[in-house]
Amino acid sequence: MIKRTLFFSNPAYLSTKNEQLVVSFPDEGKPPVTLPIEDLGYIVLEHPQITITTGVLTKLIENKTAVITCDKQHLPNAILQPLTGHSEQTERYRHQLNASVPLKKNLWQQTISTKISNQAHHLTARNKDSKKIKRWAEEVKSGDTENHEAIAAAYYFQNLFSHLPNFSRNQKGIPPNGLLNYGYAILRAVTARALASSGLLPSVGIFHSNKYNAFCLADDIMEPYRIYVDALVYDITQKYHNHEEITPELKALLLTLPALDVIIEGKRSPLMVAMSRTTNSLYECYAGISRKLLYPVFESTG
């Protein structure tokens, strides 16, 4: 089932009644809106004058709904996740924490090879040169010891956004870096939600290991999925003359990310469902059931 994403950019009061989310707008005089909590996958709280009851938070967490808050710049800055996401959580934690270094290096090789391959497919879809990047995808070694990820990323962004003068990928750089940051933050929330549902610790990564990062594993696993944010942002730069400001309209486009169709194992699936398949395949690798991570393949036609 595809879960809904709700975005709140105005003052609102969120409460609950009969397993429903009740949204009131005290400053606007509108009648309350009622929504089934079971249909909700993500809630983005952007306005500082949003009030939400503990009862709502409890029911949202029980439903595995990711609650995302935003900072003063209106960018997502926190994700509320359940402490218990799976009935076998303790056992799954044990498998994850006992994963060997060779296994982690192999998983990272698969992750980066797929990420670079998807970047090549995206460049092909935009009628841009992808020969070099296709070769780099095949040359990734265990643990990506030669750092093909960084080499490919520099080439990829330079060519993808070649129609934008002076663009380079930098979190604090010129537009559309802000749109990319926003989209990646939503993707991170999708990944963290799926990892929790699969009974895994989002903070213990296979490559990322920053002690100040609570989402190292989410940052690892989302890498091949970044391409779908890139595609949305590229389309925005083509269709919207003014994309320097992250307007509510552009945010709405980026918030369609969880429901986007992707191809995984040759079949179409909403991205949020595909992500759950990816995180479950990761657990199977940790448990010794499988050696292959399931990742989507970006379509290069269209």
What is the structure's pLDDT at 301?
53
Q: Which of 195, 226, 193, 176 is nearest to 42 (CA)?
A: 193
**Residues 129 and 158: beta-carbon distance below 8 Å:** no
Q: By percentage, how much of the chain surpasses pLDDT 70?
A: 98
Mean pLDDT of the chain: 93
Q: CA 73, 273, 294: angle at the middle one, nearest 5?
A: 105
Q: Is the pTM of this model over 0.85?
A: yes
Interval 91-120: pLDDT, tens: 999 999 999 999 999 999 999 999 999 999
Q: How confident is the model over 70-99, as a mean pLDDT?
A: 86
4-80 fold: Ribosomal Protein L15; Chain: K; domain 2 (3.100.10)
Q: Would the pLDDT of 168 be above 90?
A: yes
Q: Which positions make up the binding site?
A: 149, 208, 223
Q: Please say if the pLDDT value at position 1 is more than 70.
A: no
Any idea which fold 89-286 has? Four Helix Bundle (Hemerythrin (Met), subunit A) (1.20.120)
Which band of pLDDT confidence, cut at 50, 70 and 90, is reported for residue 302?
A: very low
Three-state DSSP state, 1: coil
Q: What is the pLDDT of residue 78?
A: 87
Q: Are 229 and 125 in contact (CB under 8 A)?
A: no
Structural domain boundaries of the chain?
Answer: 4-80, 89-286
Judge whether residue 123 has pLDDT over 90: yes
3-class DSSP string for 258-282: HHCEEEECCEEEEHHHHHHHHHHHH
pLDDT tens for residues 35-66?
999 999 999 999 999 999 999 999 999 998 99
CA angle 79, 80, 83 (to 5 degrees): 130
Binding-site residue numbers for Mn(2+) are 149, 208, 223
pLDDT band at 242 (very low <50, low <70, confident <90, very high): confident
